[in-house]
Copies of this chain bind each other. A is one copy, B any other.
């Protein structure tokens, strides 16, 4: 077996690095960033947001491996200019994302957050008020995006006794044994008026940016619940705020936002939107947890997914999760 040189831009934590090395085939040799090795001849670069310099340093670079789900916009631009480098990413976070989507759906349906706040003040009045909760059994869930995340969301919704419709771009793919109705994106406007819950697990691409806007939100039933664990801008910011504030929809559970901290210092005081979502009692606000940072069990899974991809490259096998750079996912 030959040798595969792999450069990792962001040096992993010592524990993660040890876990990674333990999983890698014998022929894999690692160099670690942020500096480039003196004589760059790596065939695989592990980086989420690589620089042009990193991408152009090694004449034999054939694979960019993004160590999370998604394709950052800046990376897409660079890779469109370098079609000879294959882009892959990893999807270790599908479990975390789908469970968070279920948590946000149920919290929004049952008003878990405001009722918890009231009872902590010894206030039981919401117990006796009308319309504090909506039932999910017998209702319809519309799942946008039917990949590793969307399918898991659908399974939980089935467990709740909901019926499931899903939309995915590649409707032709195998769905053997799948109990859900799978549609292509053209069906969106027909499906929205019957969607009691709209669960968004799409990749963020030019085609999905702003996919859910004022018109789409207005097509939903007034008791509908919207959950977004994909990327914020799949849903138009102003339209979402206005639909919630004006009770055009019942509630939302939102994990992905419009404005993010750019530095560690900013983490304490970065509004997630230019609109005052924090004033609304019918939104559950989650700080982009679907990526599963710091979920110990998943940090291990992330490392293992990386090792599996690198080992596949070393063995000349097919590397999982090829990204279509033009499509953006």
Given contacts A122-B270, A159-B156, A268-B123, contact A106 B102 (CB under 8 A): yes
Docked-complex contact B109 and A99, CB < 8 angstroms: yes
Closest to A100 in B: B110
Q: Is there a chain B Cβ closer than 8 Å to A297's Cβ?
A: yes
| A160-B155 Cα distance, complex, nearest whole Å | 7
Given contacts A102-B160, A160-B102, A284-B112, contact A95 B298 (CB under 8 A): no
Docked-complex contact A126 and B287, CB < 8 angstroms: yes
A157 nearest CB across to chain B (Å): 7
| Chain A 129-185 residues near chain B, CB threshold 8 A | 129-137, 152, 155-161
Task: Number of A interface residues at 8 Å Cβ cutoff, please give it.
Answer: 65
Q: Is there a chain B Cβ closer than 8 Å to A116's Cβ?
A: yes
Query: 0/1 per residue, A262-274, Cβ < 8 Å to B?
Result: 0000011111100
Closest to A162 in B: B159
Q: Is there a chain B Cβ closer than 8 Å to A113's Cβ?
A: yes
Query: Max chain B CB contacts within 10 Å: which of A104, A133, A134?
Result: A133
Interface of A toward B, CB cutoff 8 Å? 95-96, 99-100, 102-104, 106-107, 109-110, 112-113, 115-116, 118-137, 152, 155-161, 260-261, 267-272, 278, 284-289, 292-298
